[in-house]
């Protein structure tokens, strides 16, 4: 499975270290909260709300350079809107990879 990276953040920042650190801080702050909301909503089988949080999370997936994982998130969001949980395991594996990566930053 692909691994997160900071390439996109570096390309956006133009070398501005303060900007990079601020963006990383925002992601590290928001991600655990959004991840918990995801698990709360999926446990409650509220697929519409789960799709909404997947929509938010997929932007962080993209920012962390996970192109294939972003595609999984897009498809998973669509499935959830159709009350299907196809790709749930793959999506949750992506969340775990992101969690591990962010803890190491």
CA dist 6 → 36, 42, 47, 54 (Å): 23, 29, 31, 21
Instruction: Tell me the two tokens of residue 104.
Output: 């190491």
As a whole number, mean pLDDT of residues 13-27 equals: 96
As a whole number, mean pLDDT of residues 16-32 equals: 97
Domain edges within the chain: 7-104
Mean pLDDT of the chain: 97
41, 81 Cβ separation under 8 angstroms: no
* pLDDT tens-digit series, residues 35-69: 999 999 999 999 999 999 999 999 999 999 999 99
Question: Which pLDDT score, from 0 to 100, does residue 1 have?
Answer: 75
CA angle (82, 87, 74) in 5-degree steps: 65
Task: Give the list of residues 6+ apart from residue 22 with CB closer than 8 angstroms, or none.
Answer: none
Residue 101 burial (CB count, 10 A):
16
* pLDDT tens-digit series, residues 93-102: 999 999 999 9
As a whole number, mean pLDDT of residues 60-80 equals: 98
């Amino acid at each position: 499975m692909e691994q997160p990276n900071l390439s996109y953040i570096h390309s956006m920042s133009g070398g501005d270290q303060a900007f990079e650190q601020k963006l990383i801080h925002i992601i590290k702050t928001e991600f655990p909260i959004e991840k918990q909301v995801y698990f709360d909503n999926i446990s409650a089988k509220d697929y519409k709300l789960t799709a909404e949080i997947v929509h938010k999370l997929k932007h962080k997936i993209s920012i962390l350079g996970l192109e294939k994982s972003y595609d999984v998130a897009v498809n998973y969001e669509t499935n959830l809107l159709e009350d299907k949980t196809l790709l749930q395991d793959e999506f949750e594996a992506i969340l775990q990879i992101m969690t591990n990566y962010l803890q190491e930053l």
